[in-house]
Chains A and B, each alone.
Chain A
Amino acid sequence: MTGPVQALRSPSGLDAGPGVADVRLEAVTKRFGDVVAVHELTLDVHRGEFFALLGPSGSGKTTCLRMIGGFERPTAGRIWLAGTDVTEVAPFAREVNTVFQDYALFPHMTVEQNVGYGLMVARVPKRERQERVEQALATVRLNAFGSRRPGQLSGGQRQRVALARALVNRPKVLLLDEPLGALDRKLREQMQVELTLLQRDVGITFVFVTHDQDEALTMADRIAVFRDGRLEQVGTPEDVYDRPETPFVADFIGTSNQAEGAAAVAVFGAEGHFALRPERIRVLDAAGAPDPGEVATPAQVVDVVFAGATVRRVVTLDAGPTWVVTAPAVDAAALPGPRRGDHVLLAWSQGAERRLG
């Protein structure tokens, strides 16, 4: 933060704000009338991070993004960008650019004009502008489309134009609002990979909003899980998936089998609230024996669902709760496997379960 190079690149970083975070929300609250959209939220995003704000709709994640972008003013709290308090700074004066959910490309301009817009209003000389626009279009592999209008592009191409239009300004932070939400599934998966590679390439901090847990797990370095305007957990994908801290996180990220109260005592041998991932569980015959180091509990198969790559079995534990068990589909093809109504034994390695508060 105090190195000379850094000082050159971002003079504002010198008036040492709190910490080295690129984006910092400090006890931020946002109210719309009587509705509290974001409640005293504190969050740090590190420089160069690919950071996901994940949560169901209405959980406050988009409001957070809009506050970082400057489109909403927090009711209380401060927002810092690269060490500078920008709470009162207008969107056009923030070194942040946004890729909007609907891309918000200007329909009356060509792709080139769209991408060059930020440079034009900043009065960057025409020559440099052209070069940088070309470069940006090359980054998203759209060089050949410069003279088209947004209306003549496909969804995926428009998305890349929106990316180029934001990146060409070399922002400190790029904000992405449900960047892949409008694309069909195949394209979405492809763009997930492209976005990740692009982010590594340009080295800019990316903050993106999504309600899709797969997307967050696939792309993000760290994930902030939102619920009702508060943070439930912040951590790496491995953290939030394998070590969820609350029942909500366990349930929202992936599928979780949960047990509490008497069922917890019966299944896990302890009081508390536990979660266990479906893929951690093996299904044995009722008469089968668990391996050493495994825990087992009896259950009955309620349903068997073939889902392509996996087979999902819904089971009701003798101890009460209904769980889901997944297995790779090769097993299903090779083995007859337990069917509906069969009594089985569920087994998992000791410690595979996660205690939730």
Chain B
Amino acid sequence: MPTAVARRVLAAVMGLGLIVVYLPLAVVLVNSFNSSRTFAWPPSQLTTHWWSQAWQSTGARSALRTSVEAGLGATAIALVLGTMAAFAVARYRWFGRESVSFLLLLPIALPGIVTGIALNNAFRVAGARFGLLTIIIGHSTFCVVLVYNNALARLRRLGGTLEEASMDLGAGVWQTFRYVTFPLLRSALFAGGLLAFALSFDEIIVTTFTSAPGVQTLPLWIFGNLFRPNQAPVVNVVAAALIVLSVLPVWLAQRLSGEPVGARH
């Protein structure tokens, strides 16, 4: 049990840490309403002008669309592969199980630039046309693990007896999946999918190496316009939007995976 002084010091340190992380983000959000083009601080006046300008920017809009498409594509692949991998690891024993589990986790630890260069080389060798599809494949390498982890944790928590009970009562493999396993897995998959989408949505390094010149995701668009003083307020608005859009899925996912099994049906 820490003493009162120690507790106060710890609280101060933690507060400082949180401020370092979140104050800059707050500044971005506030500045997106700052009427000054050069972000004079404190803002003398608030305006939604930049937001409407950003909304009308064709570059930003097409980038948003690409980002959403890439996110949805990568999430879909992650859901299918991640779920299948989780089943294989949680429900069956086979040679190399631990290694495969590790290999699935690895991409999230690998530096993005390594993954990016590797994928870029591979796509070149394979003669693939760079564009949305290559971005999706690139993103799914590290999105799979999020679905996989969520699904695996849920499957382990559920154990196998519910499935055995279902089979015992006469349900075949597919009926068991449809009526028992999937309903109990659904919220974990949803949470994993949201995280995967959020990760894909704000990814920039791998995207740089897997996209084509004409194809820009939101983060790429921001990066491209960062050093044009004219665009600064619009870039700031897009950044603010990106913050909100990335935080929301993570927050939702955390709420979903924390809920007790089967409480939501």
A residues with CB within 8 A of B: 69-71, 90-93, 96-98, 100, 102, 104-109, 117-118, 120-122, 149, 151, 165-166, 169
A-B contacts, 8 of them at CB < 8 A, read: A92-B171, A96-B168, A104-B161, A105-B165, A108-B262, A109-B265, A169-B169, A169-B170
Does A98 contact B165, Cβ atoms closer than 8 Å?
yes
Does A98 contact B184, Cβ atoms closer than 8 Å?
no
Collect the chain B residues with CB atoms within 8 Å of residue A69's CB: 168
**In the bound complex, CA of A294 to CA of B176 (Å):** 64
Interface range on chain B: under 10, 10 to 19, 20 to 34, or 35 or more?
10 to 19
Collect the chain A residues with CB atoms within 8 Å of residue B261's CB: 107
Report the minimum CB–CB distance from B97 to chain A (whole Å). Answer: 15
A117 touching B171 in the complex, CB below 8 Å, given contacts A108-B184, A108-B262: yes
**In the bound complex, CA of A122 to CA of B169 (Å):** 9
Report the minimum CB–CB distance from B256 to chain A (whole Å). Answer: 15
A97 touching B164 in the complex, CB below 8 Å, given contacts A107-B261, A117-B179, A121-B179: no
Contact with A along B166-205 (1 / 0, CB 8 A): 1111111001000110011000000000000000000000
Does A121 contact B171, Cβ atoms closer than 8 Å?
yes
Collect the chain A residues with CB atoms within 8 Å of residue B183's CB: 108
A104 touching B162 in the complex, CB below 8 Å, given contacts A117-B179, A121-B175, A121-B179: yes
Collect the chain A residues with CB atoms within 8 Å of residue B167's CB: 70, 90-92
B residues with CB within 8 A of A: 161-162, 164-172, 175, 179-180, 183-184, 261-262, 265
Return the contact of A100 from the options B165, B171, B175, B262 (Cβ within 8 A). Answer: B165
Return the contact of B168 from the options A97, A106, A109 (Cβ within 8 A). Answer: A97
Collect the chain B residues with CB atoms within 8 Å of residue A97's CB: 168-169
Collect the chain A residues with CB atoms within 8 Å of residue B161's CB: 100, 102, 104
Report the minimum CB–CB distance from B160 to chain A (whole Å). Answer: 9
Across the two chains, which residue of chain B brings its CB closest to A175?
B168
Return the contact of B162 from the options A93, A96, A106, A122 (Cβ within 8 A). Answer: A106
Report the minimum CB–CB distance from A28 to chain B (whole Å). Answer: 19
Does A91 contact B262, Cβ atoms closer than 8 Å?
no
Report the minimum CB–CB distance from A347 to chain B (whole Å). Answer: 52
**In the bound complex, CA of A105 to CA of B261 (Å):** 13
**In the bound complex, CA of A121 to CA of B169 (Å):** 8
Collect the chain B residues with CB atoms within 8 Å of residue A166's CB: 168-169
Collect the chain A residues with CB atoms within 8 Å of residue B165's CB: 98, 100, 104-106
Collect the chain B residues with CB atoms within 8 Å of residue A106's CB: 162, 165-166, 179-180, 262
Report the minimum CB–CB distance from B28 to chain A (whole Å). Answer: 42
Collect the chain B residues with CB atoms within 8 Å of residue A102's CB: 161
Collect the chain B residues with CB atoms within 8 Å of residue A169's CB: 169-170
Does A107 contact B262, Cβ atoms closer than 8 Å?
yes
Collect the chain A residues with CB atoms within 8 Å of residue B171's CB: 92, 117-118, 121
Collect the chain B residues with CB atoms within 8 Å of residue A96's CB: 168
Return the contact of B172 from the options A92, A98, A100, A118 (Cβ within 8 A). Answer: A92
